[in-house]
Structure 1
Amino acid sequence: MRSRDHQGTIAMKWGWVFLGVFLSLGTLSWGEKGLEIPEYDGRDRVHDLNAKNYKSVMKKYDVMVIYYHKNVDRSRSAMKQFQIEELALELAAQVLDDLDDEDIGFGLVDEKKDSAVAKKLGLDEVESIYIFADNEIIEYDGELAADTLVEFLYDVIEDPVEIIDNERELKGFHNIDEVIKLVGYFKSEKSPHYIEYDDAAEEFHPFVKFFATFDAKIAKKLKLKMNEVDFYEPFMEEPVSIPGKPYIESELVEYIEQHDRPTLRKLEPHSMYEIWEDDIDGEHIVAFAEEDDPDGFEFLEILKEVARENTDNPNLSIIWIDPDNFPLLVPYWERTFHIDLSSPQIGVVDVEDADSVWMEMDDEDDMPSADELEQWIEDVLSGKIDPDDDDDDDDDDDDDDDDDDDDDDDDDDDDDDDDDDDDDDDDDDDDDDDDDDDDDDDDDDDDDDDDDDDDDDDDDDDE
């Protein structure tokens, strides 16, 4: 199960971007037949499920798609968003309405009004899509867009195991390299070992691709022995034989669960949230490269080489994103990560706050060598390159500002003290001057008195 605590908001924003563009395409119309993009016909096909009707509604369909949504009664903006979501489901239901092989139904469960239904069906994560098929519950972890959801449902209704009968199908098997896949060699469909294999496939369907052959010539080209299963990691040239054949279902399930995080994996629209939430210690190593671009292809080949050399490192998992698959997200990524996606990029991203550090390319015309790329990745894994370092720099800047404020305060205090001392000195000088003036006046008075006495004495003598 997924958790949206720290990146769910970003994930939902991605979904709205894709959903909006696809629904807008529905308004286009062409003059000729053969390329008519579906437009919503206005017919309600999505059921509002409640305690009274959910059992009867679900019995009508081979596959039931249920959107467990939050209550939007008190929020106008949430109501508008929900209407967009519901429209995407209506369009998907319309497209699949005439499907011959399977009857696929769509329903809504309100977290507040239909909590009892959610509990009985095992719906425990709001804003998630659950698919009920063949006694299995599949949680859809992709974008809420009609085209992506329909494509995913086509995979759901396929058999969990695809049989390889001839050379062309074997070539098709080898051309699949972007997902985890397994292939086994068994005597027949009735073999108990194949039945165990098929049961294990149902546990991971449709996220992990399971193949099998009953042809000895095909098995020889795959280098498989009877009842043996090979595990292929994405973009790896050589498979790994699962030890302990013949296997029971639980052994196969356990092995796959232990190896379900590839060294290099591609971000896909139908599983983007699941991949993004499967971080290592809150971080992702992310590589942007356009496969159809010469530089992007070259960089991707170097990336695959590094992944193959380090496939045994459990701490290494690189997410490859082809910008061509997400054109509306390119401006968001460039703005958020401060990078230019017109050329290949690789960086480490903190999934909580989107802080990131990106490898510096010395020459845009020359891609880094495998050794240079591997050294950069080793620096990331060792902690020498860490997106959290930016947070430390911000803290240091704050500390510097505080120190400057303290220094300014100290300077102000010193100036005040100096002013006080100067005032005291001036007061003392004024007092001294006053005292001196008083003394001078007293001396003058004394001299005048003496002169008067002398004059009196002279007068007496004359008489």
Structure 2
Amino acid sequence: MKILLLGLYFSFGTLLSYGDQGLEIPEYDGQDRVHTLTAKNYKSIMKSYDVMVIYYHRNVEGDRGAMKQLQIEELALELAAQVLDELEDEDIGFGLVDEKKATAVAKKLGLDEVESIYIFADNEIIEYDGELAADTLVEFLYDVIENPVEVIDNDRELKGFFNMDDVIRLVGYFKNERSPHFIEYDDAAEEFHPFVKFYATFDPKIAKKLKLKLNEVDFYEPFMEEPVTIPGKPYIESDIIEFIEQHERSTLRKLQPHSMYEIWEDDIDGEHIVAFAEEDDPDGFEFLEILKEVAQDNTDNPNLSIIWIDPDDFPLLVPYWEKTFGIDLSSPQIGVVDVADADSVWMDMDDQDDMPTSDELEQWIEDVLSGKIDPDDDDEEDEEDYDENDDDDDDDEEDDEDDDDDEDDDGDDEEDDEDDEEDDDEEDNEDDEEDDDEKDEDEDE
């Protein structure tokens, strides 16, 4: 399923993320910071760090292309380690585990998916499902070492909270950090850290602006205007966890570099509705606003989940996506994609001056959900064409066999004619001989 996202990544061997925003990564200083973990050294190495980042890679012996790719990936880890080496509060280590040479280490640590990154922090194992790029990984690790719950103390921090409309986030109002209700909330946050953002406030004025009552928690779905209050307060940890798990797949979600594989693998019946739109482009912004309106009107539909991709976040993938899907990403696009074979059907938007209305877009989405628009239809047509060609071939073979039979019959007729001619010749010869004998008898008389 990762094929559409990997795209040109390995071809270019990029070490930085696709986006033009983010951290400034320095040049590699040449110092080796990434450890090769073995059965003899892994325990001592891991004990010397607060956080350990492990890349569980496949064995590349005998494969020059794979060896080169591993070198590129290792360099990305070296760059990340170099940046994080300057942290004062946390020691973050990096290591490699070879699937063939260090099978015992992988088993001991619970590494089960090759070519994956595992982060060991605070007795938790976090699987990183983003691109292997230095800046993306560093930003993700910054989130890992932060507290699971961020406290909102003032209006500036509250404004920052409201501006984060493209991710799932929760916010609760509690008496103080010692409150048993906050402790339950904090325990739930640890279960989803750092993938789901948890916020809290202990300030009644901030709580009033958030429209929160004491010990109440609101759940904000991406791009939705209003939050949903988790029912049943005061909550215990399991109440919050259960609610998040039931609402974790958002109606509209943005593809992010740090979670791109996780989002792509969370398909519905093997398909994704995918929308491409540049937020900084006027047409892209207009289309995105229409998309948000449709998502808000259909947020209660559990079968609807749209992935929004901003091409500006993944410039190296744009040519690959355009070639694979046969679309022009200089303008907004929306389509349904089969995650297995990349077959796709895209909404016809010939008039780029006028974006589709929310009603038109909603009708198109309904046709996708009902199966009227299906990327697998092309496969069925291909199968029908294949079957028709097979039938034609069978008919041709039968005709050839009939022709062969006719040739055999013609051959038999020719043989019969030859036999008849031979019989006639023999009869004529016999008649001639009889006539000659009669003539001889007459002469003797």
The separation in 2 between residues aligned to 1:139 and 1:279, in whole angstroms, is 19
Name the CA shift for 1:348/1:36 in 2 (closer, same or farther; >3 Å). Answer: closer
Give the structure 2 partner of residue 182 of structure 1. Answer: 170
Q: CA deviation at 1:104?
A: 1.4
Deviates more, 1:65-74 or 1:178-187: 65-74
Q: Deviations over 1:20-73 (max 9, x none)?
A: 25399xxxxxxxxxx985111111111222333323322322222111222223
Q: CA deviation at 1:91?
A: 0.8
Give the structure 1 partner of residue 209 of structure 2. Answer: 221
> Letter of the aligned partner of 1:97 in structure 2?
D
Give the structure 2 partner of residue 114 of structure 1. Answer: 102
Local SS of the residue matching 1:231: strand
Q: CA deviation at 1:452?
A: 11
Deviates more, 1:266-275 or 1:252-261: 252-261
Give the structure 2 partner of residue 31 of structure 1. Answer: none
The separation in 1 between residues aligned to 2:211 and 2:56, in whole angstroms, is 46
Q: Note if 1:57 corresponds to 2:51.
A: no
The separation in 1 between residues aligned to 2:283 and 2:17, in whole angstroms, is 33
Q: CA deviation at 1:424?
A: 4.6
The separation in 2 between residues aligned to 1:198 and 1:389, in whole angstroms, is 48
TM-score by length of 1: 0.87
Give the structure 1 partner of residue 395 of structure 2. Answer: 407
Q: Deviations over 1:414-461 (max 9, x none)?
A: 33333444445555566667777888888899999999999999xxxx
Deviates more, 1:122-131 or 1:258-267: 122-131
> Letter of the aligned partner of 2:332 in structure 1?
P
Give the structure 1 partner of residue 14 of structure 2. Answer: 20
Give the structure 2 partner of residue 394 of structure 1. Answer: 382
Whether the aligned pair in 2 keeps the contact of 1:15 and 1:145 (CA below 8 Å) is no
Unaligned runs of 5+ in 1: 1-6, 25-34, 458-463
> Letter of the aligned partner of 2:113 in structure 1?
E
Give the structure 1 partner of residue 116 of structure 2. Answer: 128
The separation in 2 between residues aligned to 1:183 and 1:232, in whole angstroms, is 8
Q: Note if 1:313 corresponds to 2:301.
A: yes
The separation in 2 between residues aligned to 1:443 and 1:370, in whole angstroms, is 104
Deviates more, 1:419-428 or 1:157-166: 419-428
The separation in 1 between residues aligned to 2:340 and 2:328, in whole angstroms, is 22
Q: Note if 1:383 corresponds to 2:367.
A: no
Name the CA shift for 1:168/1:57 in 2 (closer, same or farther; >3 Å). Answer: same
Q: Deviations over 1:292-341 (max 9, x none)?
A: 11111111111111111111111111111111110111111111112111
Q: Note if 1:276 corresponds to 2:270.
A: no
Q: 1:158 aligns with which of 146, 152, 163?
A: 146
The separation in 2 between residues aligned to 1:434 and 1:54, in whole angstroms, is 100
The separation in 2 between residues aligned to 1:45 and 1:204, in whole angstroms, is 29
Whether the aligned pair in 1 keeps the contact of 2:25 and 2:134 (CA below 8 Å) is no
> Letter of the aligned partner of 2:10 in structure 1?
W
The separation in 2 between residues aligned to 1:144 and 1:189, in whole angstroms, is 36
Whether the aligned pair in 2 keeps the contact of 1:141 and 1:273 (CA below 8 Å) is yes
Q: Note if 1:343 corresponds to 2:331.
A: yes
Whether the aligned pair in 2 keeps the contact of 1:19 and 1:146 (CA below 8 Å) is no
The separation in 2 between residues aligned to 1:323 and 1:450, in whole angstroms, is 113
Q: Deviations over 1:209-249 (max 9, x none)?
A: 11111121221121111100000111111110001101111
More contact order relative to length (CA 8 Å, sep ≥ 6)? 2
Q: CA deviation at 1:159?
A: 1.9
The separation in 2 between residues aligned to 1:301 and 1:165, in whole angstroms, is 31
Q: How does 1:413-432 map to 2 (within 5 A)?
A: 413-425=401-413
Deviates more, 1:226-235 or 1:299-308: 299-308
Unaligned runs of 5+ in 2: none
Give the structure 1 partner of residue 274 of structure 2. Answer: 286
Deviates more, 1:122-131 or 1:301-310: 122-131
Whether the aligned pair in 1 keeps the contact of 2:168 and 2:197 (CA below 8 Å) is yes
Q: Deviations over 1:2-33 (max 9, x none)?
A: xxxxx255555565357525399xxxxxxxxx
Local SS of the residue matching 1:152: helix
Q: Note if 1:99 corresponds to 2:90.
A: no
> Letter of the aligned partner of 1:165 in structure 2?
D
Give the structure 2 partner of residue 242 of structure 1. Answer: 230
> Letter of the aligned partner of 2:69 in structure 1?
Q
Local SS of the residue matching 1:78: helix
Deviates more, 1:436-445 or 1:397-406: 436-445
The separation in 2 between residues aligned to 1:383 and 1:293, in whole angstroms, is 32
Q: 1:257 aligns with which of 245, 252, 273?
A: 245
Q: Note if 1:212 corresponds to 2:204.
A: no
TM-score by length of 2: 0.90
Local SS of the residue matching 1:381: helix
Q: 1:48 aligns with which of 25, 36, 45?
A: 36
The separation in 1 between residues aligned to 2:427 and 2:61, in whole angstroms, is 96
Local SS of the residue matching 2:16: helix
Whether the aligned pair in 2 keeps the contact of 1:14 and 1:143 (CA below 8 Å) is no
